[in-house]
Amino acid sequence: MRSYLLAFAIGLILSWVLTPYVKKLAFRLGAVDKPNARKVHHTIMARLGGLAIYLGFMAGAITCMQLTKDVVGILVGGTIITLVGIADDIFQLTAKAKLLGQIVAALVLVGFGVRIEWLNNPFGGYFYLDYLSIPFTVFWVVSFTNVVNLMDGLDGLAAGVSAIASVTIILVALQQGLYPVAVITAALAGATLGFVRYNFNPATIFMGDTGSLFLGYMLAAISIYGAVKSAATIALIVPAIALGLPIMDTAFAIARRYLNGKPIFQPDKGHIHHRLLAMGFSQRQAVIFMYLISAGLCLSAVLLTEMEGIYAVILLIVILVAIFIGAKKIGILKER
């Protein structure tokens, strides 16, 4: 069996088997999510489901990968961000404490040599970041970590979108011969899909910040790992487009709050999934619709790897125009 298939299978099976036990542990530790005005669920739900994703991923990655310095760095950083998520799910950390934990986890990657040191110049050669390498890497990791965290608003949404993005990265990695990237991403995809079995509507457990922070962090770390292995910025662009849905949702949320004179970090009910529910979609319909959007963006990301020059620019412009039109249609910039 190819190593990436084995990594996927281990992650899937272990996450599937462990999730019910993690649910019991969550209730025992008090890691539960109570309903309120912003949330769409109406009963107390167990959080901490991301712990099953983490354990499934770690088993798949450690079993199937050579533990080089950069891989160890990703695993250590992933462990730190998981601990931050567990602490938040149990004790409700402040926003500053969570941000500090994310920065520490990002700096672990830098310390192990997993960093963005250059970007491709479309006209040839590279842009070397030099002293900007560390802050740019930290910004990249923290941004990815938070966009997935902010998308975790409906049953199965963040986990499903992350799984779709992971499969896209696997396909591109195999296409470009980046087998270590394919293996580590396969472990992540398998562990995430194993959890979706319990998280899709009607969910019996939430991933909590343990899961959303971990998934965002790992996708960021894997994108940098791919860039290091391939010496190509496309390894960064593909995950960014594959996660285009949570990224654009976060960007529009910031713009909406700014335009309406609200604090940027103040939660609201103006996210894409809130708008879809207000338009009459059921939870399941809204999530499936957003899966389809993510799949379309992922297909665009795969096509982009086959394009060069003006054709790639045209595709990116088409994607941005489609996003703007869609956002305008559902009124995502308007205060509800």
Question: Do the domain assignments include residue 336?
Answer: no
pLDDT surpasses 80 at 231: no
Residue range(s) defining the domain that contains residue 140: 3-330
Residues 6 or more apart whose CB falls under 8 angstroms from that of 154 comprise 40, 201, 273, 283, 286, 287
In the prediction, which pLDDT does 225 show? 95
Contact indicator for 171, 306 with CB cutoff of 8 Å: no
pLDDT surpasses 80 at 121: no
Which residue, among 114, 120, 165, has the nearest Cα to 137 in the 3D structure? 114
| pLDDT band (50, 70, 90) for residue 41 | low
How do residues 312-335 score in pLDDT, each as one tens digit?
Answer: 778 878 888 887 787 777 776 665
What is the pLDDT averaged over residues 22-45?
82
In the prediction, which pLDDT does 333 show? 62
Question: Do the domain assignments include residue 219?
Answer: yes
DSSP class of residue 334 equals S
How do residues 173-213 score in pLDDT, each as one tens digit?
Answer: 999 999 999 999 999 999 999 999 999 989 999 999 999 99
Question: Do the domain assignments include residue 208?
Answer: yes
Question: Do the domain assignments include residue 88?
Answer: yes
Question: At 179, which amino acid appears?
Answer: Y
pLDDT surpasses 90 at 291: yes
Q: β-strand 126-128 against 118-120: which pairing, if any?
A: antiparallel
- How many domains does one find in the chain? 1
* Long-range Cβ pairs for the range 229-233 (8 Å, 24+): 229/178, 229/180, 229/181, 230/176, 230/178, 231/118, 232/120, 233/119, 233/120
CA geometry: angle at 44 spanning 40 and 48, to 5°?
95
Question: Do the domain assignments include residue 335?
Answer: no
Q: What is the pTM of this model?
A: 0.93
pLDDT surpasses 80 at 308: no
Instruction: Pick the range with the lowest mean pLDDT from 47-61, 158-172, 312-326.
Output: 312-326
pLDDT surpasses 80 at 297: yes
Structure tokens at 75: 């695993």
Peptide bond into 202 cis (omega under 30): yes
